[in-house]
Amino acid sequence: MESRNVARNTFKIRFYTKNANRNGLLPLMVRITVNGERVEFRSNIEIPSELWLPKAGMAAGRSTLANEINNNIRNITANLTNIYNRLFLAGEQITAEKIRNEHLGRSHSAHTLLAIFREHNEREQKLFDVGRRAKSTFNRYLLTYRRLEEYLKTEYHLSDIAMNELNYDFIYGFSTFLYSKYKVERNTAIKLIQIFRKIVLLAKRNDMIRKDPFEGFSLALDKVDPNFLDEPELQALMQRTFYNAPHLELTRDKFIFCCFTGLAFCDVEKLLKSEIKEFFDGQLWILTERQKTHIKVKVPLLDAANAIYHKYLHSRDDELLFPSSNHQNINRHLKTIALYCNIQKNLTFHMARHTFGTTVTTLHGVDLREVSKMMGHTNTKMTEHYARVLDKKLSSTMIELNKQTSSLQKSFQI
């Protein structure tokens, strides 16, 4: 007969509450500890704060509500204890997570958040490998997964969570976790939470959950005016040479090329020489596809971009126009370039794209629809914030003009 280890484990159950929800009630949490390892889960019990006795782990008094709450607590305790005793008598390995899962009725095949997220990321990896997913997008998927994994471990002591247990409080708590732990701005947090919601909607479309737990949660982004270089700053950058620093010269050339073409970093990195060709008007055009949205873009080469194109056309044997660069390194190089050019702004590579959308095109009368088309935007709403920025610039210019012409205007008599 096979022997088994019947050594008794340490097993504890503790009830406690979290912060009050929108209804002013305290959600009751249950903590199971087995041999020092603990897990927690939220019960379906909510308690008025004036009834809860933290040290006793029960509701105070003998009112109908207090009796109902305490009966539910006793039932949870009895069920968890029965599960523990059954596992012990069967000689099975006992873990806090196993007890919790059996109590909650989870089978091993239950649909869980991180498991679904991993499957999603594996598919996205394949798309990234064949150039159908931008690196920045794929990296955000990986980052969101890591943040959710950390949130579950830190706040819930869980390795995963069933999809049907997700609710508004879980999502709100995740947003609070991002703000408090990583000190991110709202838009940064919302972009990660939008990816989280993509996973939830994927589960909903596959009938894994019935209700969208994001109902009532705002995913609106704050309106942020884009940073861009004005003409004097752009001229300072173009006139500066870096003959003794090839890495800075390459960074500057790529940046200026994108200022006059509107390409994003990921697009200029994969730009092929064969994607720049004579078009219907006999001029050189960029005919490519945006990596992020897969929208085809057509951009005529302005003189500055044309000069950079010819500078690098025969400098390499392969098909790429520019030597490849690391995004992090190129942004670090831009900080150095900004110092040399006395540019006070926080210079990042994406500012080149914004500069094209404002200083180079919109400020010189190019119609927003045409700008949107050249930049590969899916709709003109994505381009409208450039016009808003330039309206502010026009306003400040006119205020200054009003000051400068004040003596002239005072001579006017009504």
Write the pLDDT tens digit of every residue in 92-107.
778 888 899 888 876 5
- Residue 339 in any domain: the answer is yes
Asked whether residue 121 falls in the same domain as residue 97, the answer is no
- Residue 389 in any domain: the answer is no
The residue that leads in pLDDT, 131 or 334, is 334
Confidence of residue 387 (pLDDT cuts 50, 70, 90): low
Asked whether residue 244 falls in the same domain as residue 195, the answer is no
pLDDT of 35-71, one tens digit each? Answer: 988 899 989 899 999 999 999 999 999 999 999 999 9
Instruction: Give the model's pLDDT for residue 313.
Output: 93
Query: What values do phi and psi take at 119, rounded to 5?
Result: -60, -40
User: Quick one: angle between helices 231-239 and 246-259, nearest 10?
Assistant: 140
Asked whether residue 201 falls in the same domain as residue 148, the answer is yes
Asked whether residue 16 falls in the same domain as residue 78, the answer is yes
Q: Which two tokens stand for residue 246?
A: 């090839």
Asked whether residue 125 falls in the same domain as residue 192, the answer is yes
pLDDT of 150-174, one tens digit each? Answer: 999 988 888 888 888 899 999 999 9
Instruction: Give the model's pLDDT for residue 3.
Output: 32
Instruction: Give the model's pLDDT for residue 88.
Output: 87
Looking at the predicted structure, is the pLDDT value of residue 315 above 70? yes
- Residue 391 in any domain: the answer is no
**Cα–Cα distance for residue pair 322/256, rounded to 1 Å:** 13
DSSP string, 102-155: HHTT--TT--BHHHHHHHHHHHHHHHHHTTSS-HHHHHHHHHHHHHHHHHIIII
In the three-class reduction of DSSP (H, G, I as helix; E, B as strand; rest coil), residue 214 is classed as coil
Last residue of a domain, one of 85, 103, 121: 103
Last residue of a domain, one of 40, 75, 103: 103
The residue that leads in pLDDT, 151 or 223, is 151
Residue span of the structural domain in which 146 resides: 113-205
- Residue 323 in any domain: the answer is yes
Asked whether residue 277 falls in the same domain as residue 349, the answer is yes
In sequence order, the 6+-apart residues with CB closer than 8 A to the CB of 197 are 214, 219
Confidence of residue 195 (pLDDT cuts 50, 70, 90): very high
- Residue 412 in any domain: the answer is no
In sequence order, the 6+-apart residues with CB closer than 8 A to the CB of 286 are 261, 263, 271, 275, 276, 297, 298, 299, 300, 301
Looking at the predicted structure, is the pLDDT value of residue 253 above 60? yes
Domain count, the chain: 3
- Residue 139 in any domain: the answer is yes
| DSSP code, position 223 | P
Instruction: Give the model's pLDDT for residue 135.
Output: 84
- Burial class (CB within 10 angstroms; exposed 0-12, middle 13-18, buried 19+) of 398: exposed
- Residue 386 in any domain: the answer is no
**Cα–Cα distance for residue pair 56/78, rounded to 1 Å:** 17
| DSSP code, position 31 | E
Please report, for residues 1, 226, 311, the alpha-carbon distance to residue 245 in angstroms, rounded to integers and kept in the order given: 78, 29, 17
Percent residues over pLDDT 70 in the chain: 91
Looking at the predicted structure, is the pLDDT value of residue 372 above 90? no
- Of 349, 362, 410, give the one whose Cα is nearest residue 389: 362
The residue that leads in pLDDT, 245 or 158, is 245
**Mean pLDDT computed over every residue of the chain:** 88
Looking at the predicted structure, is the pLDDT value of residue 316 above 90? no
Asked whether residue 285 falls in the same domain as residue 370, the answer is yes
Instruction: Give the model's pLDDT for residue 407.
Output: 77
Asked whether residue 82 falls in the same domain as residue 168, the answer is no
Asked whether residue 84 falls in the same domain as residue 118, the answer is no
Confidence of residue 403 (pLDDT cuts 50, 70, 90): confident
Mean predicted confidence (pLDDT) in 20-47? 90
Looking at the predicted structure, is the pLDDT value of residue 5 above 50? no
Chain position carrying tokens 């990195």: 269
Mean predicted confidence (pLDDT) in 402-407? 80
Mean predicted confidence (pLDDT) in 278-290? 93
Asked whether residue 257 falls in the same domain as residue 373, the answer is yes
Looking at the predicted structure, is the pLDDT value of residue 414 above 70? no
Asked whether residue 260 falls in the same domain as residue 191, the answer is no
- Of 63, 61, 1, 54, give the one whose Cα is nearest residue 28: 54
User: Quick one: angle between helices 186-205 and 135-151, nearest 10?
Assistant: 90
Chain position carrying tokens 């499957």: 119
- Burial class (CB within 10 angstroms; exposed 0-12, middle 13-18, buried 19+) of 373: middle
Q: Which two tokens stand for residue 271?
A: 């730009």
**Cα–Cα distance for residue pair 308/306, rounded to 1 Å:** 5
- Residue 261 in any domain: the answer is yes
Looking at the predicted structure, is the pLDDT value of residue 389 above 70? no
For position 256, which CATH number holds? 1.10.443.10
Asked whether residue 139 falls in the same domain as residue 249, the answer is no
Instruction: Give the model's pLDDT for residue 1.
Output: 27
Instruction: Give the model's pLDDT for residue 396.
Output: 66
